[in-house]
Amino acid sequence: MITNPSRRGFLATLVAIGLICCSSLQALAAETDPLPSWNEGPTKQSIIDFVSRVTDKSGPDYVAPPERIATFDNDGTLWVEQPLYTQFVFALDRVKALAPKHPEWKTTQPFQAVLEGDAKAIAAAGEKGIVQIITATHSGMSTTDFNKIVADWLATAKHPRFKRAYTDLVYQPMLELLAYLRANDFKTFIVSGGGQEFMRVFADETYGVPPEQVVGSTGATAWQMWDASPVLIKMPKVDFVDDGPGKPVGINKFIGRRPIFAFGNSDGDKEMLEWTAASDGLRFMGLVHHTDPVREYAYDRDSEIGRLDKALDEAVAKGWTITDMKNDWKTIFPAEKTSP
């Protein structure tokens, strides 16, 4: 029973101040949490601890900005790779689009299998078949034309399960991690088994990683003059495979420095993580473990796509950071943009 009006006024003021303080503190917390889509816990903490230590000028683990090289795998680490690698979906779509110009494909494997939607026959064609599909669809045009073909495809293709553009199916927590590292003067690179030129079409806009910081598998290109104008033509020949032991080779070739921070999700990233771990000083080795069948996918040791087996054992044995997607990530994908 508060009857004294001035006392009531005083209390109201206190409550008001309390409310303002609370919301300011919340705003401040949201502002200063660089990884809001990561649940609190040891995974998030290991990232923040690492960044704090290598950027602390007075600490023993300080690393000068130019040496702050961070490398990220792409498929399954930055964006969805199930049920098929996005670039392979693109290649299958290109086989269908190009089929009218290649009547022989109707009776030639693995193209016949693609045109008939015969997944079993595609699988039976094995790695040789995959290379045939990739080279047939990724060559015979200029680099400029290829970029346009990829951009057009990405603008319209939708993921079969999520019904969203593939460039929307990137992991929100990893976008925040990329931005957090860059805010701390890291240079972020993609080091992926995927096609370098394919990724460069969207990596800048999607991840904030410019073309010159995208390392991937490459095909041969040839310098030619077309109508007295120079072009680079994509040739049906694999030049470099940036996977497994190819990742440290690619890092040495394209970057020329060793990462101090590396993130992957499959056995194809094992050597990149070992290469990162094997130099002096504090180093961060991270894996995304796909454990969330409801919001994304759950797969590891037995998956044909993004198999995580030996690298998982090694991560456990060596204490690398394993991200449990289901428990460590508050959200998986960026919110869908509402139509205007």
**Measured from the CB of residue 45, what is the shortest distance to a second copy in angstroms?**
28
Q: Where are the beta strands (DSSP E) in 123-260?
A: 187-195, 214-226, 229-240
3-state secondary structure of 1: coil
- By the 8 A CB rule, do 54 and 61 touch? yes
Q: DSSP assignment, residue 163?
A: -
Of residues 49 and 204, the one with the C-beta less far from a second copy: 204
Of residues 6 and 229, the one with the C-beta less far from a second copy: 229
**Measured from the CB of residue 271, what is the shortest distance to a second copy in angstroms?**
6
Of residues 273 and 325, the one with the C-beta less far from a second copy: 273
3-state secondary structure of 168: helix
**Measured from the CB of residue 64, what is the shortest distance to a second copy in angstroms?**
12
Closest to 140 measured CA to CA, from 206, 204, 224, 214:
224
Of residues 69 and 91, the one with the C-beta less far from a second copy: 69
Bridge-based pairing of strands 284-291 and 298-299 is antiparallel
**Measured from the CB of residue 231, what is the shortest distance to a second copy in angstroms?**
9
Of residues 173 and 246, the one with the C-beta less far from a second copy: 246
d(CA 132, CA 143): 19
- By the 8 A CB rule, do 308 and 288 touch? no
**Measured from the CB of residue 210, what is the shortest distance to a second copy in angstroms?**
6
| Site residues for a second copy per CB under 8 A | 66, 69, 143, 187, 196-197, 200, 204, 210-214, 218, 221-223, 229-230, 232, 239, 245, 248-249, 252-257, 271, 274-275, 278
> Within 138-231, where are the H helices?
143-156, 172-183, 196-200, 203-207
